[in-house]
Chains A and B, each alone.
Chain A
Amino acid sequence: MKNRSPSSARGAKILARGLLVCLIIPASCLDAAQLKEARVTQVVKDVKLGSPQAAPRRVAVGESFRDGDCIETGVIGRSELTFADQTIARLGAKTNVSFSKGTRTVDLGEGAMLFQIPKGAGRLKIKTAAIAVASTGATAIIERHGQFYVKVLVLEGTVRCYLTNRFGESLLLQPGQILITKPDVTALPEAADFDIAREMKTCLLVREFQPLRSQQRIESEEQKQLNMIAKGTYIPSNLVILGRGTQVTLVSGPSTTPPPKPLTNTGH
């Protein structure tokens, strides 16, 4: 058998390492590119995509967006965005959001958004004014109206709500908890509790889209609430916020949940 010289063996090693590096770098770049990109998976009526380089234009299903882009829905517009790790964000009417940090940070300028972060996916942060909401696995709704209020509702999972400009002002929101506060608040208020089942039956960001992947977990949380109502831990009140805003309406009775409408896909 022919012996290789030490110099040729060294050369082979260098070549092998070089090949390995050549294989790894494109793979990691591809992965990073995938993480930094997200797609529009549903469009209802008027939805526009804007970027730093171009004027806002109507967006179509399948289009991708990346850091620096912003999406805006019209008066009756709605949209669904899907990230590379299957995180879903559904935008309500008159909503505008922009993206940064590999689309893992969403800036909510105005409007309402439902987000569903699968368990095991990366951390998604949603910023609005001085308030940030972050989670690594949850389904929740966040709404902001100018300088008037920010509202966060958790349907399943745990969401951390904190002030970006104040160390230690942090609150964990559990399923069935609702937090309403001013956008420029200096201390977070206590959370209240809401009926998840009623919310799910009346929320257009749920009813007018495909069923959520976290549907079973949400139903499990609904069942927990029902059990707690049966035990007397929760008492359904006749106070209801009918949609956006913070105005509480006194309804005739606590059990006024409307009959559920079948889940339909009315997109496009």
Chain B
Amino acid sequence: MINSQNFSKFPLGRPLFICAAVLIFAGQPAHGQAPPGSAQSRAELFGRQAYPGPSATPSAETEGYPVTSPSDKDIGEQQILKRVEEYKPFTISIYAPFYWTSNAALVSSGEQDDVFVAPGVTLMYQPRITKTLYAQVGVVQQFFFYDQLTELNFASLDVIAGLLYYLPQFHNLSLRAYYDYNRLTDTDNFDELFVNDSIILNAELPFRIARAQQIFLGLNLNLSFYGNPESPRRNNYSLYGNYDLALSRSFSLDAGFQFVVRDYYSGDRTDVNEILSLSANYRVQEWLTLSALSSFSWNQSNHSVFDYSVANIGGGIALALKF
């Protein structure tokens, strides 16, 4: 489900690509220099969760147990009004997270820290087909601008189309299946760095601990069926969990963990990636959220040249409108 805080969470539903298998043959990258295709990993790590859920989740039934009035009518008559929820299928989100990163190029040695900003915009149309079935069509454009290592700058475009299905009878399980076209370019001439077509399958199960505390557990499969160049092409299989705590109507804390296996098409490379994220979000208005963001990621590969770890600390502002 999209909200103005989503950019602070890990991009669990984003296309997951890794390119660096070519380095198996090319050797270790120079210190501080990004491995070819690391843009995909950085896009994945810092990019916005692009794909919103429906704005209206199935609401719990009110408990009904009629009790006859034991006394008089001193508190008056309560005529029930039925609220008609207006469903708004369009969402536009504009966001600008910024980070200090300890390892800008995601390299195993010779790490260089840097500061970058990742402004982006998401346009999403999510018509309701039935009460629990929604279609999703959307476009996400995001830019990554580095302060010092400007050669790492890149832009990411996603076009998605798919379906989202809720199963209230199964603990509000949500199932998603969509096609994702992803194109990474440089930011000067928008020359293509990488293009990928994939099918993404996702299942997510919410657990409400209390009204202000929720846990989400999810499984995400990102299956690439075309990539150019071929070397960064990969399938991702991930498990994730999120804990949300609303401390007040405006202030919330989020903690997330993601475990991803990245299986590359080219060569025999397989990576295991773990991501821990923490964020604090303050909703200034219904449509405006300020966030303090942090994330930590560890990557282990069967080719040690691709091992890395990175810490990112920053903040962000997000605007989201539904209509």
Contact = CB atoms under 8 A, between A and B. Distances in A.
Interface of A: 75-76, 78, 92-94, 111-112, 114, 141, 143, 145, 148-149, 151, 153, 166-172, 176, 178, 180-182, 185, 187-190, 192-195, 198-206, 225, 229, 232-237, 239-248, 251, 254, 256-257
B268 interface: no
A185 B249 CA distance: 22
Given A169-B211, A234-B84, A247-B66, A202 B73 contact: yes
Contact of B75 (A141, A166, A169, A233): A141
A233 B85 CA distance: 7
A198 B78 CA distance: 7
Given A145-B67, A180-B62, A199-B78, A244 B84 contact: no
Counting contact residues on chain B (CB < 8 A from A), the size range is 35 or more
Contacts of B208: 187
Interface string B226-260: 00000000000000000001100100000000000
Given A168-B210, A178-B78, A193 B83 contact: yes
B189 interface: no
Contacts of B70: 94, 145, 244-245
Contacts of B59: 190
Please give me the 6 A-B residue pairs with the lowest Cβ-Cβ distance, nearest first: A203-B76, A245-B69, A243-B73, A168-B210, A168-B212, A92-B74
A200 to B, nearest CB: 7
B79 A254 contact: yes
Contacts of B73: 202, 204, 242-244
Contacts of A145: 67, 70
Interface centre among B61, B77, B209, B211, by most chain A C-beta atoms within 10 angstroms, is: B77
Contact of A168 (B62, B75, B209): B209
A148 B63 CA distance: 12
A141 to B, nearest CB: 5
Given A93-B72, A168-B212, A171-B211, A182 B63 contact: yes
Contact of B76 (A170, A190, A202, A251): A202
A145 B66 CA distance: 12
A99 B68 CA distance: 29
Given A198-B78, A204-B76, A240-B78, 5 more contacts: A193-B83, A200-B76, A203-B74, A204-B73, A237-B82
